[in-house]
Amino acid sequence: MNELEIELDNIDPQDFFTNENISSLRSHFPKLKIIQRGDLFKVLGEKKSLNNFKKKFKNLTNYYLEFNSLNPTVIDEIIFNDISYNGKSKVSLILHGVGGKPILAKTKNQKLLVDKLNKKQLVFAIGPAGTGKTYTGIAIAVKALKQKEIKKIILTRPAVEAGENLGYLPGDLKEKLDPYMQPLYDALRDMIPVAKLNKLLSDKIIEIAPLAFMRGRTLDNAFVILDEAQNTTPAQMKMFLTRMGMNAKFMVTGDPGQVDLPKNIVSGLKDALTILKNKSDIGIVRLDDKDVMRHPIVKKIIDSYNKNGIRK
C-alpha cells in the first residue's frame, strides 16, 4: 500500500477540514484511507488512486485559497466535473450567495454569457438542461439589484403545462404558479437569505409571474428573464420583447430541443432566433453539453438520448 502525505499551507485546517468536507472526500474516494491530523493530511491506497486524489485535492486547495470557502457541494462539483483551479482562475466569480457560497461562471460559455449580459441589453442563452443558463442569468440579476443598478427583478415562464389558463388549479395565484416557477425560487434561495428573499417578493422588488402577466406593461429599471422560452408562441415572444423600457436588461433562455407546444404551433424562441440573428446589439450565447454542471451521468444521459434522436 502506498502513502501520500500533504501539509497545508496558508489554510485554516478547522475551516477546510469540516466533518462534512471530510465525509464528502471519503465518499468520492472509497478505496483510499484518509487520515487528517491538524494541517497534515495522510492518504493510503493504490498509486493510481493516490495520483488522482492528489490532482483533485490540489484543485480543492486552490479553490479555497481563491474563494476562502469550501463545502461538500463545491467538492462534488469539482470532483464530479473535473474542474481545474490553478491560481489563475478558470472561473469567474459573479457574487457570493447564502453562507458566502461563491456563485461562479465555471465554463467558457457561461463566462461568455456573463460578458454578454454585462455589455448588451438583450441576450438569448440557448442550451440543454443543466448548462447553467438560467442560474447564471439570475445571479447576474441579483448582483445588479445588490449594486442598485436596477430597481427590480422579474422572472417569468410560459406555464405551458397549465395552458396559461391557471383558473382550474386549486389555491391562490402563488399556489397555482409555484410548481412551474420552482426552479427560479431554487436559484434565488442559493443567492439571497430566505427572510430577505421573502421580503423582496412581498415588496414586489422580485416578481415571479407567468408570461401572460407581462402583457400591457412597460418594464423600466428592471432585469427581466424569460425562462423556458422555447414554449412561447411567436406572438408571446414579440409581446415579451416589446415590454423593454428604459434602463432595462432582458434575458431569454431556452432549449429549442425541448418544445412542449402542440405540433402545429411554431416556437417563439426558434422564430426570434431567426428574425434577430444578425442584430449586432443583441447577444446570442449557445451553451452545449460541455457546460452541463450536474452529476457526470447527466452528461452521458443527454448524449445518449441525443444520439437516439430524442431531445425532449
Residues 258-288 pLDDT 10s: 888 888 899 999 999 999 988 889 999 999 8
Mean pLDDT of all residues in 107-126: 94
Q: What is the pTM of this model?
A: 0.74
Q: Crossing angle of helices 133-146/108-119, nearest 10°?
A: 40
Give the model's pLDDT for residue 163.
46
Q: For residue 244, what is the DSSP state? A: B
Is residue 36 very low, low, confident or very high in pLDDT (cuts 50, 70, 90)? confident
Percent of the chain with pLDDT over 70: 89
Mean pLDDT of all residues in 203-218: 90
Is it the case that residue 224 has pLDDT exceeding 60? yes
Listed range (33-37, 151-155, 170-174, 237-241) with the worst mean pLDDT: 170-174
Instruction: Name the more confident of 38 and 204.
Output: 204
Q: Of the spans 1-10, 78-87, 175-184, which averages the highest pLDDT?
A: 1-10
Is residue 299 very low, low, confident or very high in pLDDT (cuts 50, 70, 90)? low
Is it the case that residue 73 has pLDDT exceeding 50? yes
User: Rounded to whole angstroms, how far apart are CA atoms 96 and 76?
Assistant: 18
